[in-house]
Amino acid sequence: MARAQWHVRPVTDPPAAIDAAAALVEANPVAYSVFSTVAASLVSEPTRFTDPHWWVVEDAAEQPVLVAMQTPPHPLHLPQHVPGAAAALADHLLAGRTRVTGVSGPKDAVDEFVDHYLPGSGVEVRGREGIGVYDLPVRAHLPWPVEGELRIAGSTDVALVASWVSAFMLETGDQLNDPEATARRQIGIGKVSLWVVEDRPVAMCWASDAFGGVVRVSGVYTPRAERGHGYASAVVAAASRREQDAGHLCMLYTQLANPTSNKIYRALGYRYLGDDLRLTFVTR
C-alpha cells in the first residue's frame, strides 16, 4: 500500500525532537534557531515549559521536512515553509482535536496553516504581528560614537538582568514564565552582554548558544531613563562582534511595527531576510 504524501508524528521528548530535526537544523540553522535553543534548554531544564510538544512532518520517503513546536503559553512555531507540510499538520491537529493558542513562522507557512486550521477549529485570529528576520553577513560595526564599553554579565548581575528581562517582556507583550530563571540561564552560559558607562550598566542583550554555527541575538533592552544615547546599538554591535570572533553567524528577529529598530540593525550590518508572522487565536 502506498504511503500518504505526508505523515505527522507527535513527539513529547526533547532529545527525540532534536534528533528528528538534526538534518533540518544543519541545512537551515537560521530558520531552526528558536527550535534549537528551546529544545536544548528543555533537555537541561525540563520544567521550563509545561507540556511542550513537537510534531514531525515526514514526506512519502519517511524523511522529516518540518518539525513544529509548541511550548505553552507560546504559539505553535513553524520554523520554515514547506508547501503542503503546514496544511498536513493543521489537518492532523484538527483530527486529534488539538488546540493551539496561535501560530508563528514564515508568512507563507502561517497562511497555509490557518487556511486549513481555522475553518474547523472554533477559533479566529485575535492578534497579528509582523516580524523581520535578519542575519549578519558582514563584520558588525557601530557607525556612530557611543560612550561606554562592553561587559559580560556575571552572577552578581542576576537581579538587574532579571528586572530588565521582566520590563522587556512587558514592553514587547511577550510571555515568560520566570524572568529570574531566564537571567540565570543566559548568564550561566556567558551570553549576556551589558553596555556600561562609568561602571553603570545602561543596556543589555544576550545571544543564544550556537546551533549549526548560528546564534540568535535577543533580549535587547535599555531602561527608559537611558534611552536616546545609542546604548542598545552599541551593545548589539559589540555582542555580535564577540560571537563573530567565536566563528558564529548572528541572526535576530525584529518587530516590523518598530521601524527605528529595523533601521538601526541594518546600519549595524544586519541583512533583512524576510518576514515572519505571529498570530494569536481566540475562541469564536
What is the tens place of the pLDDT at every residue in 143-193?
999 999 999 999 999 999 999 999 998 887 776 668 999 999 999 999 999
Could you tell me how many helices (H) and strands (E) the chain has, helices first? 9, 12
Read off the pLDDT of residues 12-71 as tens digits, 9 standing for 90 and up. Answer: 999 999 999 999 999 999 999 999 999 999 998 898 888 999 999 999 999 999 999 999
Read off the pLDDT of residues 99-148 as tens digits, 9 standing for 90 and up. Answer: 999 999 999 999 999 999 999 999 999 999 999 999 999 999 999 999 99
- Is the pLDDT at 93 greater than 50? The verdict is yes
Using DSSP, state whether 115 is helix, strand or coil. helix
Cα 30 versus chain centre, distance: 10
What pLDDT is recorded for position 1?
Answer: 33
Read off the pLDDT of residues 228-263 as tens digits, 9 standing for 90 and up. Answer: 999 999 999 999 999 999 999 999 999 999 998 999
Q: How far apart are alpha carbons 136 and 65 in whole angstroms?
A: 26
- Is the pLDDT at 2 greater than 60? The verdict is no
Read off the pLDDT of residues 194-214 as tens digits, 9 standing for 90 and up. Answer: 999 999 999 999 999 999 999
What pLDDT is recorded for position 210?
Answer: 96
Band the pLDDT of 224: cuts 50, 70, 90: very high
3-state secondary structure 86-109: HHHHHHHHHHCCCCCCEEEEEHHH
Work out the average pLDDT over 212-225.
96
Residues 6+ apart with CB under 8 A from 84: 5, 6, 112
What pLDDT is recorded for position 198?
Answer: 96
- Architecture of the domain defined by 149-276: 3-Layer(aba) Sandwich (3.40)
For 42, the grid coordinates are 528543555
Closest CA to 71 of 174, 196, 197: 174
